[in-house]
Amino acid sequence: MAAVLAFGIALFTARVYGVSMSPTLKDGDALIVDKVGVRYTAPRRGEIVVATEPGGGTFVKRVIGVPGDTVEIDGARPHPVVLIQPGGSGPWQRLEEPYTSNSWNRKDFCCDQRGLDVGLTTPQPLRVAPGRFFLLGDNRDASTDSRRFGLFSRDQIVGRVLFRWWPLRQAGAVSDRPALVPA
């Protein structure tokens, strides 16, 4: 009984609403989320998390920039790309994101120092502050994320998605992870 109670305290279920995480997650998918482990181990780049937005609701997004990273979105290409300097130094690297399927078409540039979208103006690279995270949805043209709300604090990240349990035919780990490649 104690193990069942501990399991219930450490995990919760979340449901995906909307298309902002498509194609990785679909509207109506049900997820098992770890709400304890994320308190002890900071989210890593590429992980899918549940976060609290400024209005009080929660949403599911992917961690793109972690504390210390320098992030830039280059919207001058046919499909925008995320460029990262891990830890804020060294050469720029492109985040290779197979889950976006080249569906990112809106000319994005990013960001001001709060992480907010700057429209079509040329931005300065964003340095992700200590204890903050830059979150994006996988469906970039239809996602409300850090480009609208700014950087998220670690306290706003309430859980790490472990796996999808519904629909049953797609149950399992959600494991698409981006890779850093030379820019």
- Which residues are known catalytic residues? 20, 61
Q: Judge contact between 94 and 183, C-beta under 8 A.
A: yes
Give dist(CA 118, CA 108) in Å, integer.
8
- Beta strand pairing call for 157-166 and 48-52: antiparallel
Residues 6+ apart with CB under 8 A from 177: 46, 47
Query: What gap in Å lies between CA 87 and CA 163, rounded to an integer?
Result: 28
Distances (CA, A) of 66 to 40, 71, 140: 15, 9, 18
What is the phi/psi pair of residue 130, to 5°?
-55, 135
